[in-house]
């Protein structure tokens, strides 16, 4: 079962920041928060991940609350190409071996012109 809760959908105006929320109230101390997105039936695409600190890369920023029970993915200037289903996933880090991503239903972000 997915360990995260996301709203089913959200709209955003093109050029504005899109703030995508995620609740993960049962997260453990060594579990990472990952974000992937899936654009129209393509394979999922990695966006960003974090443990405790806020993270930023060329695609997005990830803000994790101090208690780590929720996080927000920020797309600073949303474009029409950002329309996709966004998945917030909690992953346990282990050294060696494989880890399984448990995808929930995700959240459909629609960027409107």
Partner 1 sequence: NAGVTQTPKFQVLKTGQSMTLQCAQDMNHNSMYWYRQDPGMGLRLIYYSASEGTTDKGEVPNGYNVSRLNKREFSLRLESAAPSQTSVYFCASSEPGLGETQYFGPGTRLLVL
- Contacts to partner 1 by CB under 8 A: 2, 34, 41-46, 49, 87, 93, 95-106
**Which CB sits closer to partner 1, 100 or 113?**
100
CB of 107 vs partner 1, minimal distance in Å: 11
- Per DSSP, 50 falls in state E
**Which CB sits closer to partner 1, 14 or 91?**
91
- CB within 8 Å of 104: residues ≥ 6 apart: 2, 4, 5, 6, 87, 88, 89
- Rounded to whole angstroms, the Cα distance separating 48 from 34 reads 6
**Which CB sits closer to partner 1, 14 or 104?**
104
């Amino acid at each position: 079962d997915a360990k995260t809760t996301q709203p089913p959908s959200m709209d955003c105006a093109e050029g504005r920041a899109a703030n995508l929320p995620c609740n993960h109230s049962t997260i453990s101390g060594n579990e990472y928060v990952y974000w992937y997105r899936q654009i129209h039936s393509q394979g999922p695409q990695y966006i960003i991940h974090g443990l405790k600190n806020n993270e930023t890369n060329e695609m997005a920023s990830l803000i994790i609350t101090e208690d780590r029970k929720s996080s927000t993915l920020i797309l600073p200037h949303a474009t029409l190409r950002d329309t996709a289903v966004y998945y917030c996933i909690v992953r346990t880090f282990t050294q060696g071996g494989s880890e399984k991503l448990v995808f929930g239903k995700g959240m459909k972000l629609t960027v409107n012109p």
